[in-house]
């Protein structure tokens, strides 16, 4: 009855609001991507940042341009997210509004997401992620495919070469007019990743070369966009990606050989209809992920396949000073794996309602509630309240929000043999956030200044942790209660016009993530920072453009990370400096040739993001790009 009631409520609200707002005269705005933006609890990275060849994949980009910490196991190897002191399964990864998180382990490997397939990347921190669903206790990362409705024939080809056998070929074709657009993208990437490192496990600290780290990745993305009428848009997207990776061994296990292949097929269809004061969006996606893993030392050769049907319906309505948003989501996930006794299936239903009221021109109130239910299991009601206030006629805005979120155990946690624990409770969080944003134009709109400050607190109950058992295997249990708190700062100054264009940005985050309950009498983790959660992280970026030339510099700092629950062992802090220089030549405004060269880890620092996983020292890259426009 709860399920039926939720669906009926959504349909009643949608139908009631639509009756007075239907119109066939609303135009669909042309989508263009020209700059970056920073809002309260949100960050957007545009196409100019995504096209920088110094970023190898989504994980590499986010580690340098956001508050996220990326737990990387090496170049091309597993890369997962930690945001606001939460675990890797506590951050959502969405593609055009549909979650791409694995239904099996709940995480996303960012090394499998090439930036070339993305037109825009945005981040929602903390409670702001609830607009797209449950589970994003830390936040969400959203990748988008965007059209430009204009008459065009656009061909782009680039070839990247770098240290350690890095070679990547990209190709993109855009063709269309004011009513139809087709975008085709191809990628072929390979690397040896055979860099040198210092072996700290052997006396004398000799230099060795990383072995068994080569990769081969291939992918295709096809997108179609149709304007059926002036107020209707249909889009269809197809994404195929195949990644074959030899996984480098730990420093202490140099002779081990591991191999992993990930094959992913994603298809997504979306329909949008724009009325006078409202928008209806219907989205459906089918995702088929296959993973093959071989470990010769352990004698493992396993295979897993995950098939997901994920749907979403959104209806947004504006009436005078009130904005209403209703949403219905349904996901069905099926998994077959060598570690499961049989095929496992799970379905989830979510209903979301939000109301935003502009009490005055300066003061807004948002109230939302989401009902989340795993079919044939528990149901959770997740309220959220938000206030936004602009101080007088100034450019300073204040915001505050409080709410709840939930992360249901993934299928590995529940059913993996022999470790699965069907008695697990969902991880439930209660959060509070405060902050401010500031925007100002200087010198007759030649300079723009944007800044934001956020303070957050999050209490996570029933934190799931895998622990060893007396039977020789690990098993998940609800062992911890975790408190995360911290501060995030962002500032940028940019001059987008003039002969010399400038863009300076900086981020800093402080994160405390601690367990405050003892698991047993001798537990020394109480009050200690969770492992692999840095307290301090910062980035500074500078971009200069002059007469077809561009110079970029990026400095990243990461604090110590504890690698034992009692905080007795740690990895030292490190900093990375990357620089790049590019030059482009335009011929008759139709042909564009661009050459980019850069150096990564200029200071040649020796560092590890994960214990016993060496990372590359100073290395180089060059990109040659050609573009034809008509």
Judge contact between 605 and 619, C-beta under 8 A.
no
CA–CA separation, 476 and 424 (whole Å): 8
Q: What is the per-residue pLDDT across 135-147, written as a single tens digit (0 to 9) for each?
A: 999 999 999 999 9
Please report which confidence band the pLDDT of residue 11 belongs to, taking 50, 70 and 90 as the band edges. very low
CA–CA separation, 491 and 494 (whole Å): 10
CA–CA separation, 20 and 629 (whole Å): 44
Average pLDDT estimate for 443-453: 85
**Of the candidate ranges 71-75, 272-276, 563-567, the one whose mean pLDDT is the lowest:** 71-75
Judge contact between 541 and 552, C-beta under 8 A.
yes
pLDDT at 15: 43
Q: What is the per-residue pLDDT across 94-120, written as a single tens digit (0 to 9) for each?
A: 999 999 999 999 999 999 999 999 999
pLDDT at 4: 43
CA–CA separation, 348 and 312 (whole Å): 12
CA–CA separation, 12 and 7 (whole Å): 9
Judge contact between 368 and 402, C-beta under 8 A.
no
pLDDT at 75: 82
pLDDT at 36 over 80: no
pLDDT at 240 over 90: yes
Give the containing element (helix H, strand E) for 104. Answer: none
CA–CA separation, 583 and 578 (whole Å): 17
Task: Give the count of beta carbons closer than 10 Å to the beta carbon of residue 617.
Answer: 17
Judge contact between 187 and 158, C-beta under 8 A.
no
Q: What is the per-residue pLDDT across 315-328, written as a single tens digit (0 to 9) for each?
A: 999 988 899 999 99
Q: What is the per-residue pLDDT across 169-209, written as a single tens digit (0 to 9) for each?
A: 999 999 999 999 999 999 999 999 999 999 888 888 899 99
Q: What is the per-residue pLDDT across 113-143, written as a single tens digit (0 to 9) for each?
A: 999 999 999 999 999 999 989 999 999 999 9
Q: What is the per-residue pLDDT across 487-544, written as a single tens digit (0 to 9) for each?
A: 999 999 999 888 899 999 999 999 999 998 887 777 888 899 999 999 999 999 999 9
Task: Give the count of beta carbons closer than 10 Å to the beta carbon of residue 482.
Answer: 24
CA–CA separation, 201 and 510 (whole Å): 32
Instruction: Classify burial at 588, counting beta carbons within 10 Å of its beta carbon; exposed 0-12, middle 13-18, buried 19 or more.
Output: exposed
Backbone conformation region of residue 120, classed left if phi is above 0, alpha if psi is from -120 to 50, else beta: beta
Average pLDDT estimate for 55-82: 89
pLDDT at 119: 93
Q: Which residues pair with 546 in a beta bridge?
A: 500, 549
How far, in whole angstroms, is CA 265 from its chain's centroid? Answer: 19
What percent of the chain stands above pLDDT 70?
Answer: 93
pLDDT at 39: 60
Please report which confidence band the pLDDT of residue 577 belongs to, taking 50, 70 and 90 as the band edges. very high
CA–CA separation, 66 and 141 (whole Å): 11
Judge contact between 438 and 449, C-beta under 8 A.
yes
Q: Which residue has the tokens 């956030």?
A: 433
CA–CA separation, 338 and 336 (whole Å): 7
> What's the DSSP call for residue 130?
G
pLDDT at 620 over 90: yes
Q: Where in the chain are the domains? A: 2-629
pLDDT at 418: 86
List Cβ neighbours of 489 (8 Å cut-off, separation of 6 or more). Answer: 451, 452, 453, 454, 506, 507, 508, 509
- Let me know if domain 2-629 sits in CATH 3.40.50.261: no
Cis peptide before 418 (omega within 30 of 0): yes
Average pLDDT estimate for 556-567: 94
CA–CA separation, 630 and 621 (whole Å): 30
Tokens of 571: 């990895």
Best CA proximity match to 533, nearest among 506, 556, 567: 567
- Reported in sequence order, the residue ranges of 9-129 that DSSP labels E, i.e. its strands, are 37-39, 42-45, 69-72, 79-82, 91-95, 98-99, 120-125
The vertex-119 CA angle with 117 and 124, nearest 5°, equals: 110
Average pLDDT of the chain?
89
How far, in whole angstroms, is CA 409 from its chain's centroid? Answer: 20
Q: Which residue has the tokens 């949100």?
A: 42
pLDDT at 136: 95
């Amino acid at each position: 009855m709860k399920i039926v009631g939720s669906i009926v409520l959504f349909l009643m609200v949608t139908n009631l609001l639509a009756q007075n707002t239907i119109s066939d005269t609303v135009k669909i705005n042309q989508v263009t991507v020209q700059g970056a933006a920073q809002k309260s609890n949100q960050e957007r990275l545009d196409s100019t940042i995504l096209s920088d060849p110094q970023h190898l994949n989504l994980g590499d980009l986010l580690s340098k341009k956001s508050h996220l910490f990326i737990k990387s196991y090496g170049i091309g190897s597993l890369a997962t997210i930690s945001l606001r002191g939460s675990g890797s399964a506590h951050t959502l990864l969405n593609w055009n509004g549909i979650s791409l998180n694995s239904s099996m382990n709940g995480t996303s490997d960012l090394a499998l997401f090439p930036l070339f397939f993305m037109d825009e990347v945005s981040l929602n921190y903390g409670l702001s992620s609830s607009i797209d669903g449950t589970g994003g206790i830390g936040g969400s990362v959203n990748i988008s495919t965007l059209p430009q409705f204009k008459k065009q024939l656009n061909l782009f080809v680039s070839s990247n070469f770098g240290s350690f056998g890095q070679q990547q070929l990209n190709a993109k074709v855009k063709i269309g007019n004011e009513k139809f657009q087709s975008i085709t993208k191809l990628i072929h990437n390979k690397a040896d990743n055979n860099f040198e490192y210092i072996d700290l496990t052997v006396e004398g600290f000799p230099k060795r070369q990383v072995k068994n780290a080569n990769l081969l990745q291939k992918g295709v993305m096809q997108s179609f966009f149709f304007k059926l009428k002036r107020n209707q848009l249909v889009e269809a997207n197809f994404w195929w990606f195949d990644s074959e990776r030899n996984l480098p061994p730990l420093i202490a296990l140099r002779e081990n050989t591991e191999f992993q292949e990930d094959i992913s097929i994603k298809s997504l269809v979306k329909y949008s209809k724009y009325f006078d004061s409202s928008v209806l969006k219907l989205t459906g996606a089918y995702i088929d992920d296959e993973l093959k893993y071989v470990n010769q030392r352990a004698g493992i050769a396993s295979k897993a396949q995950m098939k997901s049907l994920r749907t979403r319906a959104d209806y947004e309505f504006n009436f005078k000073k009130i904005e209403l948003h209703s949403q219905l989501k349904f996901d069905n996930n099926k998994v077959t794996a060598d570690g499961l006794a049989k095929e496992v299936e799970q379905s989830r239903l979510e209903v979301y309602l939000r109301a935003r009221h502009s009490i005055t021109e300066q003061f807004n109130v948002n109230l939302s509630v989401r009902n989340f239910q795993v079919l044939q299991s528990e149901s959770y009601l997740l309220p959220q309240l938000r206030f936004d206030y602009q101080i007088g006629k100034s450019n300073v805005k204040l915001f505050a929000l409080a709410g709840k979120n939930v992360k249901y155990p993934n299928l590995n946690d529940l059913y993996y043999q022999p470790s699965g624990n069907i008695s697990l409770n969902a991880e439930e969080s209660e959060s509070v956030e405060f902050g401010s944003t500031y925007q100002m134009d200087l010198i007759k709109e030649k300079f723009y200044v944007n800044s934001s400050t956020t303070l957050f607190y999050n209490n996570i109950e029933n934190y799931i942790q895998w622990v060893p058992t007396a039977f020789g295997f690990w098993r998940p249990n609800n062992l911890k209660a975790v408190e995360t708190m911290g501060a995030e700062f962002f500032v940028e100054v940019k001059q987008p016009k003039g002969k010399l264009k400038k863009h300076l940005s900086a981020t800093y985050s402080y994160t405390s993530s601690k367990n405050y309950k003892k698991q047993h009498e001798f537990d020394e983790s109480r009050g200690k920072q969770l492992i692999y959660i840095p307290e301090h992280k910062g980035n500074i970026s500078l971009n200069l453009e002059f007469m077809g030339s561009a110079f970029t510099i990026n400095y990243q700092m990461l604090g110590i990370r504890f690698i034992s629950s009692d905080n007795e062992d740690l990895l030292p802090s490190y900093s990375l400096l990357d620089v790049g220089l590019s030059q482009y030549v335009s011929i008759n405004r139709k042909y564009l040739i661009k050459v980019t060269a850069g150096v990564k880890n200029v200071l040649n620092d020796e560092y590890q993001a994960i214990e016993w996983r060496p990372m590359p020292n100073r290395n180089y890259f060059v990109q040659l790009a050609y573009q034809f426009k008509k």
